[in-house]
């Protein structure tokens, strides 16, 4: 009987050992299975980091910094705030968003640890979207010829009488007509207000209405103007912000004529006047 008991005990021990071993195997297999089912996706992690608010902000900030320094040939070591302040007089977009850009320079230093560029803060999404908008305006600004310039440029020959020019302005509703000579070179702009001023001075000097309307040619009036900076030429690549800069720097500017290369002897491709300034501002707001 004692032998049988020992045998029974051994059999039980063997069973327990087998169960324990089985449990260990199952645990190891379970752990291995769990690990195999959820590997670390490095690309997914990278994409997530890349799309973070901080990463988007820093990408836009660095592009703005590079673009301004490259465009205006500033020293690469120049601080961002100094870059912005020096560019205010050169660029409409920078002038408009000067305060925001200065603030973004400080925010950039708060987001990134100085020594190792380690991100220590996340900017608000509204800030990210605004700096990305400014980045887009500076790096890929809209061409004026594509979005705002009037392409159906109505022009007039310099030999036309004042009566003919006035009638053309009245019938077309265009107050600025390019004037070209026999060599197809643009020599000025027939502007409704300037014609009215010239007409008034002519009458004050004792001249007759019929004489001014029929005997005076548009080229005669243009030759008596004190200055010629009331119009400007630009090539077809000029951007909306650059046109706004022209109007900002010259308060007497009435029209900007766009030609292939910005030459006065080329056919006008488009024209922009002071009336378009408000429209251009709206375009930049929604771009």
**Together in a domain, 182 and 257:** yes
* 219 lies in the same domain as 246: yes
Q: Are residues 151 and 279 in the same domain?
A: yes
Instruction: Say whether both 83 and 202 belong to one domain.
Output: no
* SS3 of residue 156 by DSSP: strand
CATH number, residue 267: 3.10.580.10
> CA angle, 104 as apex, 99 and 105 as ends, to 5°?
100
pLDDT at residue 237 greater than cutoff 90: yes
Lookup result for tokens 């305060």: 99
Centroid of chain to Cα 175: 29
Query: 55 and 88 share a domain?
Result: yes
Give the domain extent around 264. 146-286
- Same structural domain for residues 155 and 232? yes
What end-to-end distance do the CA atoms of the chain give, in Å? 98
pTM score, two decimals?
0.72
Domain stops at, among 89, 115, 140: 140
Nearest to 105 by CA among 52, 50, 56, 57: 57
Nearest-angstrom CA–CA distance, 51 and 135: 16
Strand 186-191, strand 176-180: pairing:
antiparallel
Out of 76-85, 107-116, 122-131, 132-141, which region has the weakest mean confidence (pLDDT)? 107-116
Same domain, 106 and 227: no
Kindly report, residue by residue over 36-50, the tens digit of the pLDDT. Answer: 455 666 565 555 555
pLDDT tier for residue 231 given thresholds of 50, 70 and 90: very high
Q: Are residues 190 and 229 in the same domain?
A: yes
pLDDT at 147 (0 to 100): 94
**Which pLDDT score, from 0 to 100, does residue 194 have?**
92
Dump pLDDT digits (tens) for 50-84: 578 999 999 999 999 999 999 999 999 999 999 99
The overall average pLDDT reported for the chain is: 85
Residue 7: the pLDDT is: 43
Confidence of residue 2 (pLDDT cuts 50, 70, 90): very low
Q: Buried b vs exposed e over 196-208: b needs ≥16 C-beta within 10 Å?
A: eebbeebeeeeee
- How many domains does one find in the chain? 3
Q: What percentage of the chain has pLDDT greater than the value 70?
A: 80
**CA pair distance 46, 21, nearest whole angstrom:** 41
Residues 213 and 174 in one domain: yes
Looking at the fold, whether 173 and 239 belong to one and the same domain comes out as: yes
Please check the confidence at residue 16 and state whether its pLDDT lies above 60.
no
């Amino acid at each position: 009987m004692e032998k049988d008991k020992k045998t029974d005990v051994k059999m039980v021990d063997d069973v327990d050992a087998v169960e324990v071993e089985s449990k260990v195997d199952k645990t190891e297999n379970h752990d291995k299975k769990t690990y195999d089912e959820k590997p670390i996706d490095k690309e997914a992690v990278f994409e997530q980091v890349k799309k973070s608010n901080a990463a988007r902000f820093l990408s836009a900030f660095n592009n703005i910094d590079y673009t301004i320094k490259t465009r205006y040939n500033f020293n690469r070591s120049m601080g961002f705030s100094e870059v912005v302040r020096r560019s205010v007089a050169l660029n409409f977009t920078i002038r408009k968003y000067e305060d925001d850009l200065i603030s973004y320079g400080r925010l950039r230093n708060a987001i990134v640890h100085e020594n190792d560029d380690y991100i220590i803060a996340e900017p608000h999404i509204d800030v990210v979207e605004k700096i990305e908008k400014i980045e887009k305006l500076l790096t890929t600004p809209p061409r004026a010829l594509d979005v705002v310039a009037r392409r159906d440029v109505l022009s007039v020959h310099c030999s036309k009488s004042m009566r003919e020019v006035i009638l053309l302005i009245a019938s077309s509703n265009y107050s600025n007509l390019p004037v070209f000579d026999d060599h197809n070179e643009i020599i000025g702009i027939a502007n409704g207000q300037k014609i009215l001023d010239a007409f008034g001075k002519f009458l004050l000097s004792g001249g007759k209405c019929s004489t001014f309307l029929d005997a005076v040619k548009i080229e005669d009036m243009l030759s008596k103007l004190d200055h010629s900076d009331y119009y400007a030429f630009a090539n077809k690549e000029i951007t909306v912000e650059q046109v706004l800069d022209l109007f900002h720097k010259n308060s007497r500017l009435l029209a900007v004529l766009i030609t292939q290369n910005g030459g006065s002897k080329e056919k006008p491709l488009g024209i922009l006047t002071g009336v378009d300034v408000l429209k251009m501002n709206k375009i930049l707001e929604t771009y």
